[in-house]
Amino acid sequence: MILSKKFEELIIKQLESFGCSMGVTHLVMYLASAKRGTKANFEMIGQWPSIDRLLLSIEDDPSLKVSSPNRRWYPLQENDILLGVLRVETDLKEGNWPVPLDSRLKALSISLAKCVSIELERQNKNKEIHYLKNQVNVIVHQLRNPLAALRTYAKLLIKRLGSDNDSIEIVERMLIEQKQINQYMDTFENLNEPPQLPLELGEERLLLPPNLDNKTAITVQGLLRPILERGEANAKLENRAWTEPSIWPEWTLLPVKAKYVVIAEIVANLLENAFKYAQKDAEIGIGITSKGLYVFDNGKKILKNENEKIFQKGFRGSASMKKDGTGVGLFLARKLARQIGGDLKLLEKATIKDVKELKNLKKKNIFYLELPTKELHT
Protein backbone atom coordinates (compact mmCIF):
# COMPACT_ATOMS: atom_id res chain seq x y z
CA MET A 1 0.00 0.00 0.00
CA ILE A 2 1.05 3.62 -0.50
CA LEU A 3 1.73 5.07 2.93
CA SER A 4 0.81 8.60 3.92
CA LYS A 5 3.50 10.83 5.37
CA LYS A 6 1.51 11.22 8.60
CA PHE A 7 1.34 7.45 9.01
CA GLU A 8 5.10 7.06 8.51
CA GLU A 9 5.75 9.85 11.03
CA LEU A 10 3.45 8.14 13.54
CA ILE A 11 5.34 4.83 13.19
CA ILE A 12 8.70 6.54 13.68
CA LYS A 13 7.41 8.31 16.80
CA GLN A 14 6.13 5.01 18.17
CA LEU A 15 9.54 3.41 17.69
CA GLU A 16 11.37 6.44 19.09
CA SER A 17 9.13 6.50 22.16
CA PHE A 18 10.39 3.02 23.09
CA GLY A 19 13.94 4.41 22.97
CA CYS A 20 17.05 2.73 24.20
CA SER A 21 15.36 0.56 26.80
CA MET A 22 16.65 -2.56 28.58
CA GLY A 23 19.41 -3.26 26.09
CA VAL A 24 17.43 -2.68 22.88
CA THR A 25 19.73 -1.37 20.16
CA HIS A 26 17.57 -1.49 17.06
CA LEU A 27 13.84 -1.58 16.24
CA VAL A 28 12.62 -2.21 12.70
CA MET A 29 9.06 -2.39 11.47
CA TYR A 30 8.04 -4.29 8.31
CA LEU A 31 4.71 -4.34 6.51
CA ALA A 32 3.40 -7.46 4.82
CA SER A 33 2.69 -7.08 1.12
CA ALA A 34 1.83 -9.47 -1.67
CA LYS A 35 0.64 -9.17 -5.24
CA ARG A 36 -2.02 -11.54 -6.51
CA GLY A 37 -0.44 -14.91 -7.28
CA THR A 38 2.83 -14.25 -5.42
CA LYS A 39 4.01 -15.08 -1.92
CA ALA A 40 3.95 -12.49 0.84
CA ASN A 41 6.89 -10.16 1.28
CA PHE A 42 7.83 -7.87 4.17
CA GLU A 43 8.86 -4.32 3.29
CA MET A 44 10.76 -2.23 5.82
CA ILE A 45 8.96 1.08 6.52
CA GLY A 46 10.59 2.47 9.66
CA GLN A 47 13.38 1.95 12.17
CA TRP A 48 14.99 3.24 15.32
CA PRO A 49 17.56 4.63 15.50
CA SER A 50 17.36 6.26 12.09
CA ILE A 51 20.14 4.91 9.85
CA ASP A 52 21.03 6.39 6.50
CA ARG A 53 20.79 3.24 4.42
CA LEU A 54 18.55 1.66 1.84
CA LEU A 55 15.40 0.19 3.36
CA LEU A 56 15.49 -3.49 2.44
CA SER A 57 12.80 -6.13 2.61
CA ILE A 58 13.40 -9.18 4.75
CA GLU A 59 13.95 -11.29 1.63
CA ASP A 60 16.68 -8.93 0.40
CA ASP A 61 18.64 -8.72 3.66
CA PRO A 62 20.94 -11.80 3.95
CA SER A 63 21.88 -11.04 7.58
CA LEU A 64 18.33 -11.73 8.69
CA LYS A 65 18.43 -15.29 7.40
CA VAL A 66 20.88 -16.23 10.15
CA SER A 67 19.33 -16.76 13.57
CA SER A 68 20.65 -14.76 16.52
CA PRO A 69 19.95 -14.96 20.28
CA ASN A 70 19.96 -11.16 20.33
CA ARG A 71 17.12 -10.85 17.82
CA ARG A 72 13.40 -11.47 18.16
CA TRP A 73 10.41 -11.05 15.89
CA TYR A 74 7.00 -9.83 17.07
CA PRO A 75 3.98 -10.25 14.77
CA LEU A 76 1.78 -7.24 14.00
CA GLN A 77 -1.56 -8.98 13.88
CA GLU A 78 -5.19 -7.86 13.65
CA ASN A 79 -7.45 -10.81 14.47
CA ASP A 80 -6.21 -13.59 12.14
CA ILE A 81 -4.52 -11.26 9.65
CA LEU A 82 -0.74 -10.78 9.73
CA LEU A 83 -0.13 -7.13 8.88
CA GLY A 84 3.61 -7.06 9.46
CA VAL A 85 6.38 -7.80 11.94
CA LEU A 86 8.54 -5.91 14.43
CA ARG A 87 12.22 -6.83 14.51
CA VAL A 88 14.07 -6.20 17.77
CA GLU A 89 17.87 -6.27 18.16
CA THR A 90 19.54 -6.17 21.58
CA ASP A 91 23.01 -6.32 23.15
CA LEU A 92 21.84 -8.76 25.81
CA LYS A 93 24.38 -11.46 26.61
CA GLU A 94 23.41 -14.98 25.56
CA GLY A 95 19.95 -13.78 24.59
CA ASN A 96 18.75 -13.45 28.17
CA TRP A 97 15.60 -11.37 27.57
CA PRO A 98 13.93 -9.94 30.73
CA VAL A 99 10.21 -10.63 31.07
CA PRO A 100 9.34 -6.88 31.43
CA LEU A 101 11.15 -6.16 28.16
CA ASP A 102 9.23 -8.90 26.36
CA SER A 103 5.93 -7.57 27.75
CA ARG A 104 6.68 -4.02 26.63
CA LEU A 105 7.64 -5.18 23.15
CA LYS A 106 4.42 -7.17 22.86
CA ALA A 107 2.47 -4.05 23.83
CA LEU A 108 4.40 -2.04 21.24
CA SER A 109 3.63 -4.60 18.53
CA ILE A 110 -0.10 -4.46 19.38
CA SER A 111 -0.02 -0.66 19.18
CA LEU A 112 1.77 -0.73 15.81
CA ALA A 113 -0.73 -3.28 14.46
CA LYS A 114 -3.61 -0.96 15.44
CA CYS A 115 -1.88 1.91 13.61
CA VAL A 116 -1.58 -0.19 10.46
CA SER A 117 -5.21 -1.36 10.71
CA ILE A 118 -6.48 2.21 11.07
CA GLU A 119 -4.36 3.37 8.12
CA LEU A 120 -5.70 0.56 5.94
CA GLU A 121 -9.26 1.42 6.92
CA ARG A 122 -8.65 5.10 6.19
CA GLN A 123 -7.28 4.31 2.73
CA ASN A 124 -10.23 2.04 1.94
CA LYS A 125 -12.70 4.73 3.04
CA ASN A 126 -10.92 7.31 0.88
CA LYS A 127 -11.20 4.99 -2.12
CA GLU A 128 -14.93 4.53 -1.44
CA ILE A 129 -15.46 8.29 -1.10
CA HIS A 130 -13.55 8.96 -4.32
CA TYR A 131 -15.63 6.33 -6.13
CA LEU A 132 -18.93 7.73 -4.80
CA LYS A 133 -17.98 11.28 -5.75
CA ASN A 134 -17.24 10.16 -9.28
CA GLN A 135 -20.57 8.36 -9.41
CA VAL A 136 -22.39 11.48 -8.19
CA ASN A 137 -20.71 13.54 -10.91
CA VAL A 138 -21.77 11.05 -13.57
CA ILE A 139 -25.37 10.93 -12.31
CA VAL A 140 -25.61 14.73 -12.10
CA HIS A 141 -24.27 15.03 -15.65
CA GLN A 142 -26.77 12.46 -16.92
CA LEU A 143 -29.71 14.11 -15.15
CA ARG A 144 -29.07 17.57 -16.59
CA ASN A 145 -30.28 16.70 -20.09
CA PRO A 146 -33.65 15.08 -19.18
CA LEU A 147 -34.33 17.90 -16.70
CA ALA A 148 -33.73 20.48 -19.41
CA ALA A 149 -35.97 18.48 -21.75
CA LEU A 150 -38.77 18.40 -19.15
CA ARG A 151 -38.61 22.18 -18.88
CA THR A 152 -38.81 22.53 -22.67
CA TYR A 153 -41.79 20.18 -22.94
CA ALA A 154 -43.55 21.97 -20.07
CA LYS A 155 -43.20 25.33 -21.84
CA LEU A 156 -44.53 23.81 -25.05
CA LEU A 157 -47.47 22.38 -23.14
CA ILE A 158 -48.30 25.82 -21.68
CA LYS A 159 -48.47 27.22 -25.23
CA ARG A 160 -50.86 24.46 -26.33
CA LEU A 161 -53.13 24.83 -23.31
CA GLY A 162 -54.05 28.33 -24.40
CA SER A 163 -56.55 29.80 -21.92
CA ASP A 164 -56.92 26.72 -19.71
CA ASN A 165 -55.62 28.55 -16.63
CA ASP A 166 -56.16 25.68 -14.18
CA SER A 167 -54.05 23.32 -16.26
CA ILE A 168 -51.44 26.01 -16.89
CA GLU A 169 -51.09 26.52 -13.12
CA ILE A 170 -50.31 22.80 -12.69
CA VAL A 171 -47.66 22.91 -15.41
CA GLU A 172 -46.12 26.05 -13.90
CA ARG A 173 -45.80 24.22 -10.60
CA MET A 174 -44.03 21.44 -12.45
CA LEU A 175 -41.57 24.05 -13.72
CA ILE A 176 -40.98 25.24 -10.16
CA GLU A 177 -40.25 21.66 -9.07
CA GLN A 178 -37.89 21.23 -12.04
CA LYS A 179 -36.02 24.35 -10.94
CA GLN A 180 -35.76 22.97 -7.40
CA ILE A 181 -34.29 19.70 -8.69
CA ASN A 182 -31.72 21.73 -10.63
CA GLN A 183 -30.74 23.39 -7.37
CA TYR A 184 -30.23 19.93 -5.88
CA MET A 185 -28.00 19.08 -8.83
CA ASP A 186 -25.91 22.15 -8.04
CA THR A 187 -25.62 20.95 -4.44
CA PHE A 188 -24.45 17.51 -5.55
CA GLU A 189 -21.84 19.06 -7.82
CA ASN A 190 -20.46 20.96 -4.84
CA LEU A 191 -19.80 17.69 -2.98
CA ASN A 192 -16.30 17.63 -4.48
CA GLU A 193 -15.53 21.00 -2.91
CA PRO A 194 -14.01 21.16 0.61
CA PRO A 195 -17.08 20.92 2.87
CA GLN A 196 -18.02 23.77 5.19
CA LEU A 197 -20.07 21.89 7.72
CA PRO A 198 -22.49 23.73 10.03
CA LEU A 199 -21.21 21.84 13.07
CA GLU A 200 -23.77 23.34 15.42
CA LEU A 201 -26.50 21.57 13.40
CA GLY A 202 -24.91 18.14 13.59
CA GLU A 203 -23.51 15.80 11.00
CA GLU A 204 -26.82 14.37 9.79
CA ARG A 205 -28.90 16.61 7.53
CA LEU A 206 -32.04 15.99 5.55
CA LEU A 207 -31.74 16.92 1.87
CA LEU A 208 -35.23 18.38 1.76
CA PRO A 209 -36.34 21.69 0.19
CA PRO A 210 -35.60 24.48 0.25
CA ASN A 211 -31.83 24.26 0.07
CA LEU A 212 -30.66 27.83 0.61
CA ASP A 213 -27.33 29.56 0.99
CA ASN A 214 -26.55 31.89 3.87
CA LYS A 215 -27.03 35.03 1.71
CA THR A 216 -30.67 34.35 0.87
CA ALA A 217 -33.15 36.42 2.88
CA ILE A 218 -36.31 34.42 3.50
CA THR A 219 -39.17 34.23 5.97
CA VAL A 220 -40.77 31.22 7.62
CA GLN A 221 -43.74 31.74 5.31
CA GLY A 222 -41.37 31.73 2.33
CA LEU A 223 -39.70 28.58 3.62
CA LEU A 224 -42.99 26.76 3.96
CA ARG A 225 -44.74 27.96 0.79
CA PRO A 226 -43.25 25.39 -1.65
CA ILE A 227 -43.81 22.63 0.91
CA LEU A 228 -47.46 23.61 1.36
CA GLU A 229 -47.98 23.68 -2.42
CA ARG A 230 -46.66 20.13 -2.62
CA GLY A 231 -48.85 19.08 0.27
CA GLU A 232 -51.94 20.55 -1.42
CA ALA A 233 -51.05 18.81 -4.69
CA ASN A 234 -50.58 15.45 -2.93
CA ALA A 235 -53.88 15.85 -1.10
CA LYS A 236 -55.73 16.57 -4.36
CA LEU A 237 -54.12 13.57 -6.01
CA GLU A 238 -55.19 11.30 -3.14
CA ASN A 239 -58.62 12.94 -2.72
CA ARG A 240 -57.99 13.71 0.92
CA ALA A 241 -58.82 16.82 2.97
CA TRP A 242 -55.99 19.35 3.32
CA THR A 243 -55.63 22.26 5.74
CA GLU A 244 -53.04 25.05 5.76
CA PRO A 245 -52.71 28.42 7.51
CA SER A 246 -54.96 31.28 6.40
CA ILE A 247 -53.44 33.75 8.86
CA TRP A 248 -49.68 34.09 9.32
CA PRO A 249 -48.40 35.59 12.60
CA GLU A 250 -45.82 38.37 12.42
CA TRP A 251 -42.94 36.06 13.42
CA THR A 252 -43.50 34.06 10.23
CA LEU A 253 -43.25 37.15 7.99
CA LEU A 254 -39.85 38.51 9.09
CA PRO A 255 -36.52 37.33 7.58
CA VAL A 256 -34.93 34.52 9.61
CA LYS A 257 -31.28 33.81 10.35
CA ALA A 258 -29.60 31.31 8.04
CA LYS A 259 -29.40 28.48 10.55
CA TYR A 260 -33.19 28.44 10.98
CA VAL A 261 -33.89 27.36 7.38
CA VAL A 262 -33.84 23.80 8.75
CA ILE A 263 -37.42 24.52 9.86
CA ALA A 264 -38.39 23.67 6.28
CA GLU A 265 -36.55 20.35 6.47
CA ILE A 266 -38.35 19.43 9.68
CA VAL A 267 -41.81 20.33 8.36
CA ALA A 268 -41.22 18.61 5.00
CA ASN A 269 -40.25 15.44 6.83
CA LEU A 270 -43.32 15.55 9.08
CA LEU A 271 -45.63 16.01 6.10
CA GLU A 272 -43.91 13.24 4.17
CA ASN A 273 -44.50 10.89 7.11
CA ALA A 274 -48.14 11.94 7.36
CA PHE A 275 -48.83 11.26 3.67
CA LYS A 276 -46.93 7.98 3.81
CA TYR A 277 -48.47 6.47 6.94
CA ALA A 278 -51.95 8.00 7.38
CA GLN A 279 -54.86 6.19 5.73
CA LYS A 280 -55.83 7.44 2.25
CA ASP A 281 -58.98 9.18 3.50
CA ALA A 282 -57.34 10.84 6.51
CA GLU A 283 -57.12 14.63 6.64
CA ILE A 284 -53.62 16.14 6.78
CA GLY A 285 -52.62 19.70 7.47
CA ILE A 286 -50.34 22.27 9.03
CA GLY A 287 -51.06 25.15 11.37
CA ILE A 288 -49.25 28.06 13.01
CA THR A 289 -49.24 29.12 16.66
CA SER A 290 -47.66 32.05 18.48
CA LYS A 291 -44.66 29.93 19.46
CA GLY A 292 -44.30 27.43 16.67
CA LEU A 293 -46.22 25.29 14.22
CA TYR A 294 -47.80 21.85 14.01
CA VAL A 295 -48.42 19.12 11.46
CA PHE A 296 -51.40 16.88 12.01
CA ASP A 297 -53.17 13.92 10.46
CA ASN A 298 -56.52 12.41 11.30
CA GLY A 299 -55.44 8.86 10.56
CA LYS A 300 -54.90 5.98 12.93
CA LYS A 301 -53.72 7.27 16.30
CA ILE A 302 -50.12 6.48 17.22
CA LEU A 303 -50.04 4.10 20.17
CA LYS A 304 -49.42 5.79 23.51
CA ASN A 305 -46.46 3.53 24.33
CA GLU A 306 -44.83 4.61 21.04
CA ASN A 307 -45.12 8.38 21.57
CA GLU A 308 -41.45 8.72 22.49
CA LYS A 309 -40.10 5.60 20.81
CA ILE A 310 -40.92 6.97 17.35
CA PHE A 311 -38.22 9.62 17.89
CA GLN A 312 -35.57 6.97 18.49
CA LYS A 313 -33.16 6.29 15.63
CA GLY A 314 -34.22 3.21 13.67
CA PHE A 315 -37.52 2.63 15.50
CA ARG A 316 -40.49 1.73 13.28
CA GLY A 317 -43.92 2.23 14.76
CA SER A 318 -46.76 -0.25 14.33
CA ALA A 319 -48.37 1.98 11.67
CA SER A 320 -45.24 1.91 9.50
CA MET A 321 -44.20 -1.72 9.77
CA LYS A 322 -45.62 -2.73 6.38
CA LYS A 323 -44.39 0.38 4.54
CA ASP A 324 -41.00 1.53 3.28
CA GLY A 325 -38.84 3.59 5.61
CA THR A 326 -35.73 3.62 7.77
CA GLY A 327 -37.00 4.95 11.08
CA VAL A 328 -34.59 7.90 10.90
CA GLY A 329 -36.80 10.82 9.82
CA LEU A 330 -38.37 11.73 13.17
CA PHE A 331 -35.06 11.17 14.96
CA LEU A 332 -33.36 13.70 12.69
CA ALA A 333 -36.28 16.12 12.80
CA ARG A 334 -36.25 16.28 16.60
CA LYS A 335 -32.45 16.50 16.63
CA LEU A 336 -32.51 19.51 14.29
CA ALA A 337 -35.34 21.14 16.27
CA ARG A 338 -33.39 20.93 19.52
CA GLN A 339 -30.17 22.11 17.92
CA ILE A 340 -31.83 25.40 16.91
CA GLY A 341 -33.24 25.90 20.40
CA GLY A 342 -36.68 24.40 19.82
CA ASP A 343 -38.30 21.02 20.34
CA LEU A 344 -40.48 18.51 18.53
CA LYS A 345 -43.02 16.32 20.26
CA LEU A 346 -46.17 14.33 19.61
CA LEU A 347 -48.90 15.99 21.66
CA GLU A 348 -51.11 13.94 23.95
CA LYS A 349 -54.32 14.92 25.70
CA ALA A 350 -52.30 15.83 28.78
CA THR A 351 -49.89 18.11 26.89
CA ILE A 352 -52.14 19.61 24.20
CA LYS A 353 -53.60 22.02 26.76
CA ASP A 354 -50.13 23.58 27.11
CA VAL A 355 -50.56 25.10 23.63
CA LYS A 356 -53.54 27.46 23.91
CA GLU A 357 -54.22 27.58 20.17
CA LEU A 358 -54.61 23.78 20.07
CA LYS A 359 -56.95 23.20 23.01
CA ASN A 360 -59.97 22.63 20.76
CA LEU A 361 -58.14 20.90 17.90
CA LYS A 362 -59.65 17.43 17.50
CA LYS A 363 -57.06 15.51 15.50
CA LYS A 364 -55.61 12.04 16.03
CA ASN A 365 -51.88 12.85 15.71
CA ILE A 366 -50.40 16.32 16.25
CA PHE A 367 -46.67 16.89 15.91
CA TYR A 368 -45.83 20.22 17.53
CA LEU A 369 -42.65 22.07 16.56
CA GLU A 370 -41.94 24.61 19.27
CA LEU A 371 -39.55 27.36 18.12
CA PRO A 372 -37.56 30.19 19.70
CA THR A 373 -39.71 32.72 17.81
CA LYS A 374 -38.02 35.74 19.42
CA GLU A 375 -34.57 34.61 18.28
CA LEU A 376 -35.35 33.59 14.68
CA HIS A 377 -34.94 36.92 12.99
CA THR A 378 -31.95 38.73 11.51
The answer to whether residues 230 and 365 belong to one domain is yes
- Given this model, what pLDDT does residue 255 score? 92
Question: Within a domain: residue 327?
Answer: yes
Tens-place pLDDT, residues 135-156: 877 787 778 778 888 888 888 8
Is 202 inside any structural domain?
no
Residue ending a domain, choose from 102, 125, 148 = 125
Residue 345 resides in a domain: yes
Q: What per-residue confidence (pLDDT) applies to 209?
A: 45
pLDDT at 199: 43
Do 317 and 221 reside in the same domain of the chain? yes
| Structure confidence by residue, pLDDT tens digits, 15-52 | 888 766 788 888 999 998 766 556 667 888 888 887 75
Domain match, 256 and 112 both: no
pLDDT on residue 170: 87
Predicted local distance difference test score (pLDDT) of residue 112: 93
Phi and psi based region of residue 233 (left: phi greater than 0; alpha: psi -120 to 50; beta: remaining): alpha
Q: What is the per-residue pLDDT for 172?
A: 86
The whole-number pLDDT of residue 344 equals 95
| Total count of domains within the chain | 2
* Burial classification of residue 46, based on how many CB atoms lie within 10 Å of its CB (0-12 exposed, 13-18 middle, 19 or more buried): buried
Q: Is residue 159 part of a domain?
A: no
**Residue 188: inside a domain, yes or no?**
no
Taking the chain (378 residues) in runs of 10, the rounded mean pLDDT of each run is 84 84 86 70 85 63 77 89 90 81 92 92 90 81 79 86 87 84 76 55 44 66 90 88 93 91 90 88 92 92 88 75 67 90 86 72 89 87
**Is 350 found in the same domain as 236?**
yes
Q: Are residues 218 and 361 in the same domain?
A: yes
Task: Specify the pLDDT at position 58.
Answer: 72
Q: Give the end of a domain, one of 71, 92, 125.
A: 125
* Start-to-end Cα distance in the chain: 52
> Looking at the domain assignment, is residue 198 inside a domain?
no
The predicted pLDDT at position 245 comes to: 92
CATH label of the domain that carries residue 18: 3.30.450.40
Res 292: pLDDT:
93
Read off the CATH number of the domain in which 298 is found.
Answer: 3.30.565.10
Domain extent for 294: 212-370
Considering the domain architecture, whether residues 238 and 339 belong to the same structural domain is answered as: yes
Indicate whether 158 belongs to any domain: no
Do both 220 and 121 map to the same domain?
no
Residue 197 lies in a domain: no
Please say which residue of 125, 150, 180 terminates a domain.
Answer: 125
Residue 120 and residue 216 in one domain: no
